[in-house]
Amino acid sequence: MGFTIAEKIIKAHLVEGEMVKGTQIALKIDQTLTQDATGTMAYLQLEALGVDQVKTEKSVAYIDHNTLQSGFMNADDHKYIGSVAKKHGIYFSRPGNGICHQVHLERFGKPGKTLIGSDSHTPTGGGIGMFACGAGGFDVAVAMAGGAYHINMPKMVRINLTGSLKPWVSAKDIILKVLQMLTVKGGVGKVIEYGGEGVASLSVPERATITNMGAELGATTSIFPSDDATRAFLKAQGREEDWVELKADDDAVYDETYEINLDELVPMVACPHSPDNVKSVDEVGKIKVDQVCIGSCTNSSLSDMMKVAAILKGKKVHPDVSLAIAPGSKQVLTMLAKDGLLADMIDAGARILESACGPCIGMGQSPNSKGVSLRTFNRNFLGRSGTADGQIYLLSPEVAAYSAINGVLSNPTELGNMPEFEMPEEFLINDNMVEPPAAPEDADKVEVIKGPNIKPFPVADPLEETISAPAVLKVEDNITTDHIMPAGSKILPYRSNIPHLSQYCFEVCDPEFPARAKAAGKGIIVGGSNYGQGSSREHAALVPLYLGIKAVVTKSFARIHEANLINTGILPLTFVNEADYDKINQGDELELPNVKEAVAEGKQIVLVNKTNGAEIPVNCNLGGRNKEIILAGGLLNYLKKHML
């Protein structure tokens, strides 16, 4: 029996377990990346592990999220990350150099390698044939320290692409189509692998748009073969020697297979407030638009920007629309400037933003009240734009640019023929904004700079014999980490300050939650299915821990968030019968009698609702290592016993 692409990479990196689907495996990690909003915590954890020099082939620390410096906090975080990176053997991509995923693809990603990053869109690297996963910062710290990355062996899904895209239809429309087919839960526990003759017509940046938004499917990762297009991209980046060929065996076995005929695709749009609420642009119709934002790790490559510039050239942004464009990296921005394309954008009336996440994470450019904002980004969760009532639509750069001129949602295929947009034979290479680390022998001379905003992170106690606590919060299905721990310009600067952040926990759902949880001293959260979908931020676990949360009981969890709860020392439980969700109301007194023994011995756990007398069986799906981590009270306590 042959192997899929992902199975080949897993096989070459397997250090524990067997490739049996659904069972725990551990992988050797070749590369890591962090960004600043999760990086401060990851490096505090790396320091706590007491490691001198990272053990990976390449680790890079990016500054791209918290670039709005209103107050000392973000600038202090940049100094901390820059200095800690220098000391421990990590490359430092300075603010201004670009969005982590875009820069990593351009300058560091290598086909066939494993990459984990403290950001859920790390699977962008799958566009260049990497096995790339988003992870909590602590898992990234452990990988930098030489430890393996533990996941469940995923199922394999194949998406066959046939035909080729029509003019002005793009990679974004492919992934929006996939989201329409599979939904935000459709990829959980799976790798999405792309194949078929349609793949050859897609460039690496186009493939990366697709693998990037595989995060919105909840997938473990997404991956493309490494072929001639991959080689051409690496060659143009001056890195042809990094190329290796990678393809699935002809007799590889997939758990599910889907077909998408690219010829039949039309421009698509994800409507508020979920990336899988997908319709065609024509179905939604010519709704009036207030704002258009182009950029983010999904759609900020040179080829995306070339198309945008071509649509805007000689035109004027509609008077009722504010258009913001953030090219994804210094390389993209410089090339746009040199080719005169930046001038075409500025002439048309675009507001050019720095190469960073910016509006994607609510760092500025919040829309007007009830404003309709078209964005080339990957998430349109309620409140993420920084306003409670913004109507955010996700779509391609082509749809965005054409709509910005027309003032209404518009279908760019109306533009007719499309000029040839060729990838340059050589990208402009200048890595002067990437600081190399100090030589290991000079590392002790590097001083790590820690400003006053950097506070210690909370550490759990070992699991109690019996947990007695009220249901301090009950929430619905598909709760995102943006609900649990919102981002945005007011809160993000405090990512290294858990006590401060805790005031905003679940603010979107229930502003009273932090005070209630604190007053209770101990609490249990009750959730629906796919709880914790979205970002990798472990703050969505660390902050609840700080607020006294001992367990979270749900219908099901999103992968990265469940791992973060375990690493933090909060017990993740799922209902055996989903209908039992209705047997708990917010405020009920709950008990998990003898839970420690039940976890340790793998016995059935029963949750007792002392308020109404219900006895509710719950599962705790903890494999060997995860069980030990929960019993020890989180990853740090576990590692103190096993690694340090």
Among the listed ranges 116-124, 304-312, 464-472, 585-593, the one in contact with ligand MIC (CB under 6 A) is 116-124
Q: Residue 193 to residues 150, 238, 565, 577: CA-CA distances in angstroms? A: 20, 27, 28, 32
Among residues 88, 104, 107, 537, which one is catalytic?
A: 537
Q: Shortest gap between Cβ of 496 and ligand MIC (angstroms)?
A: 12
Cβ closest to ligand MIC, residue 38 vs residue 170: 38
- Stretch in the footprint of ligand SF4 (CB under 6 A) among 176-184, 354-362, 400-408, 592-600: 354-362
Residues 133-152: x where in contact with ligand SF4 by CB under 6 A, - otherwise, as a string = --------------------
Which residues, 122 to 181, sit near ligand MIC by CB under 6 A?
134
Among 151, 234, 270, 487, indicate the residue that binds ligand MIC (CB under 6 A): 487
Q: Which is nearer to ligand SF4, 384 or 627 (CB)?
A: 384
User: What residue type is 296 in one-letter code?
Assistant: S
Instruction: Decide which of ligand MIC, ligand SF4, none touches 38; Cβ closer than 5 to 8 Å per partner kind.
Output: ligand MIC
Would you state the structure tokens that stand for residue 38, as one six-digit string?
């999760």
Window of 220-228, 355-363, 427-435, 617-625 that interacts with ligand SF4 by CB under 6 A: 355-363
Residue 360 as a binder of ligand SF4 (CB under 6 A): the answer is yes
Toward ligand SF4, which CB reaches closer, 312 or 487? 487
- Is position 99 an interface residue for ligand SF4 (rule: CB under 6 A)? yes
Judged by CB under 6 A, the number of residues near ligand MIC is 13
DSSP per-residue letters across 352-381: E--SS-GGGGTSS-PPPTT-EEEESSS---
Q: Could you say whether residue 119 binds ligand MIC (CB under 6 A)?
A: yes
Smallest separation (angstroms) from ligand SF4 to the CB of 214: 12
Distance of alpha carbon 303 from alpha carbon 204, whole angstroms: 10
- Please report how close the Cβ of residue 39 comes to ligand MIC at its closest, in angstroms: 9
Q: How far is the CB of 431 from ligand SF4 (least distance, A)?
A: 20
Phi and psi angles of residue 398, each rounded to the nearest 5 degrees, phi first: -65, -45
CB of 459 to ligand MIC, least distance (A): 21
Q: How far is CA 622 from the centre of its chain?
A: 23
**Cβ-closest position to ligand MIC:** 535
Question: Given candidates 67, 220, 387, 535, which one binds ligand MIC under the rule CB under 6 A?
Answer: 535
Contacts of ligand MIC in 353-412 (CB under 6 A): 361
Q: Which of residues 29-48 bind ligand MIC (CB under 6 A)?
A: 37-38
Q: Which residues of 266-275 are buried (b: 16+ CB within 10 A; e: fewer)?
A: ebbbbbbbbb
The answer to whether the CB of 411 falls within 8 A of the CB of 287 is: no
**Locus of tokens 């394999």:** 156
Of the residues 30, 76, 119, 580, which is catalytic? 119
Residues belonging to the chain = 644
Which of 78, 107, 375, 379 is labelled catalytic?
A: 379
**Minimum separation from the CB atom of position 538 to ligand MIC (A):** 9
CA quadruple 380, 384, 386, 392: dihedral, nearest 10: 10
83 vs 533, which CB is nearer to ligand MIC? 533
496 carries an active-site annotation: no
Distance CA 69, CA 83 (A): 18
Q: Where are the beta strands (DSSP E) in 146-254?
A: 149-152, 155-162, 190-195, 221-223
Measured at the CA of 510, the angle between CA 508 and CA 514, to 5 degrees, comes to 105
Near ligand SF4 by CB under 6 A: residue from 103, 357, 542, 571:
357
Residue 296, binding choice from ligand MIC, ligand SF4, none, Cβ under 5 to 8 Å by partner class = ligand SF4
Which residue out of 30, 36, 64, 242 is catalytically annotated? 64
Q: Which of ligand SF4, ligand MIC, none does 271 bind, CB closer than 5 to 8 A by kind? A: none
- Residue 99 interaction partner, one of ligand MIC, ligand SF4, none, beta carbon < 5-8 Å per kind: ligand SF4
Q: How far is the CB of 328 from ligand SF4 (least distance, A)?
A: 8
CA distances 147 to 28, 251, 463, 583, 642, Å, are 7, 33, 24, 41, 11
The DSSP 8-state label assigned to residue 515 in this structure reads: H
Query: Residue 560 has which token pair?
Result: 């990265």
Out of 7, 36, 119, 276, name the contact with ligand SF4 by CB under 6 A. Answer: 119
Given ligand MIC, ligand SF4, none, residue 154, with its beta carbon under 5 to 8 Å by kind, binds none
Work out which of 536, 554, 568, 637 binds ligand MIC, going by CB under 6 A. 536
* Residue 135: closest CA among 45, 16, 209: 45
- 537 catalytic? Reply is yes
By CB under 6 A, name the one of 361, 454, 524, 630 that touches ligand SF4: 361
Is 384 an active-site residue?
A: no
Question: Which one of ligand MIC, ligand SF4, none is in contact with 42 (Cβ closer than 5 to 8 A by kind)?
Answer: none
**Applying CB under 6 A, which part among 117-125, 140-148, 284-292, 632-640 lies near ligand MIC?**
117-125
The three-state DSSP-derived secondary structure of 526-584 is ECCCCECECCCCCHHHHHHHHCCEEEEEECCECHHHHHHHHHHCCEEEEECCHHHHHHC
Strands ordered across the beta sheet of 14-16 = 14-16, 24-27, 149-152
**Rounded to whole angstroms, how far apart are CA atoms 48 and 456?**
10
Neighbours of 417 (CB within 10 A): 6
Q: Is residue 529 among the annotated active site residues?
A: no
Q: Pairing mode, if any, of strands 91-93 and 58-62? A: parallel
d(Cα 492, Cα 562) in Å, to the nearest integer? 22
**Which of the ranges 114-122, 449-457, 517-525, 634-642 carries the binding residues for ligand MIC, by CB under 6 A?**
114-122
Cis peptide, bond prior to residue 273, ω within 30 of zero: yes
Cα torsion 561, 563, 564, 569: sign: positive
* Residue 93 touches ligand SF4, criterion: CB under 6 A: no
Residue in 32, 59, 120, 152 binding ligand MIC, rule: CB under 6 A = 120
H-run or E-run covering 518 = helix 513-520
**Min. distance of Cβ 407 from ligand MIC in angstroms?**
28
How far lies 251's CA from each of 1, 36, 194, 519, 530, in Å? 6, 42, 15, 59, 33
What does the block give as tokens for 270?
Answer: 């994800």
Q: Which positions lie near ligand MIC, rule CB under 6 A?
A: 37-38, 65, 119-121, 134, 361, 487, 534-537
Write out the residues near ligand SF4 by the rule CB under 6 A: 65, 99, 119, 121, 296-297, 357, 360-361, 377-378
Q: Which positions are catalytic?
A: 64-65, 119, 379, 535, 537
